[in-house]
Structure 1
Amino acid sequence: MSTWFITGASRGFGLEIARQALERGDNVVATARRPETIAHALSHHGDRVLAVALDVTDEDQARTAVSSAVETFGRIDVLVNNAGRGLLGAVEESTDAEVRSIYDTNVFGLLNVTRALLPVMRSQRSGRILNVSSLGGFSSSSGFGIYCSTKFAVEGISEAMHEELADLGIRVTVVEPGYFRTDFLDDRSLSTETTVIEDYAHTAGVVRGTVPGLNHTQPGDPVKGATAFLTLADAENPPVRAQLGSDCLKELDAKITQLRTESEAWRDLAASTDHDDVLV
């Protein structure tokens, strides 16, 4: 029996992962800003679920949540850093306040929870960390530049943690979902900038107009996606990165091709910047 600690567990991936972990007999610490919604959804699992109030931007609250988890279950085996929000708009259209707000949740919030929880896993010399990124964590696009930049940050943090924690018995995987039929495109999770600059009408503006029509028609099945999280948590040798969804795989292939084509075209320029005494 494992004990899971899941952020953003009131709906979407977080709630479905919690539900499936409980159904197979695990313990779950399910956190959200409004934990009463979790308690209602998962109440039939009794004392194997602990619903805890957690705003990931509050580091003290993160420490308190982790302490409650350990006090209740004695250990934490799997951390799912799932809490996050989106921002739709061109980079120039994005206000300083909105940019800082999304970084507070997606990046600094993830770090708050991870710092609070890692001493527990290090003392156990075991644990799994699943950091939720996105296909936008390796391939940015018009209209989602700020959001994607936060996921690029999560990718960099996760890759370093993978190296830093492996010898301590802790495995880190960054999970990159494509578009899944969750509530992420609802206005509760996705903010849209009110500033509109007409020069971006044919780039970010097109995305701004298209996204609402995609909601709840996305190709990814969140139930199957949540099952994939459990598979990754159980894997003996989990990957550093795991893509979820055929759309994510397609985008990954396109990104790899683009990087290879561009790097080959500019390879001579790259090599030309070494000192003359460097042997290539």
Structure 2
Amino acid sequence: MALLKVLLLLGLGVSVNSAVSLQKRIIGGHNCADTERQYHVRLEGSNGTQRTLCGGSLIHPKWILTADSCWKTERGWFNVAMLNVHPRTTGLKVLGIQADILFYDPEGWRHDIILLKLLRRVKDVPLAPLPDCSNRPKIGDTVQLAGEGATTTGPNNEQISNFAPATHLQCVDMPVVEASHFLPTYGRVFSAKARNKDVCYGDAGSAAVFNGKIYGVISPGVPRYACESAASIVDVCEYMEWIRATLSDK
């Protein structure tokens, strides 16, 4: 199979209008510290008339963990993975994705989590620490979400779908409000919510971090108005057997 092209649309990734420059990403967030999230991956795609944006995490020298909805399956799309997104001190590294695209679909439908295999090993980018599932975030614990997506909001706090990637990776702290549970069409998820804070278009696939480790992948499903619903986060601990088997086998 020829080079499979990576990237995404999402419920949380959306068409990018490079002419639009918005000041704020991850509503209510702040610039991520330069010492954290150096494993963050930007996934970009284009079909010539539209562009898409999503996040991901480098968890192995050849594997990216992201949301299933960050994989664009339609013909005509060219997709790439971009590393060294944060901090931007060494310049972006652009890599292709090879044919090994692994979906999690034991019931015959795809959960919103995916592993993308890079064409070549990465040697100079830190890897994301995988979770200690004996110490999972509980209701009331604070998780850190991040992304380069939208946005400041429009009239009446309405989400804006057209945006340029943030000039600095944005982080936001939000408490867990719902423990891990099964959500049809998404899989095993937990939820986080905080007043005047939210994830936005373009943030799907990025990591939810607790105690310095990845415990979740931001899932799509942005409501029309910001800060009205909890953010759904795919629970990585529920998929660790599959992840570890993939990393050890490949």
- Whether TM-score is above 0.5 comes out as no
Q: Please give the TM-score of this superposition, normalised by the length of structure 2.
A: 0.26
Larger radius of gyration: 1
Q: TM-score, normalised by structure 1?
A: 0.24
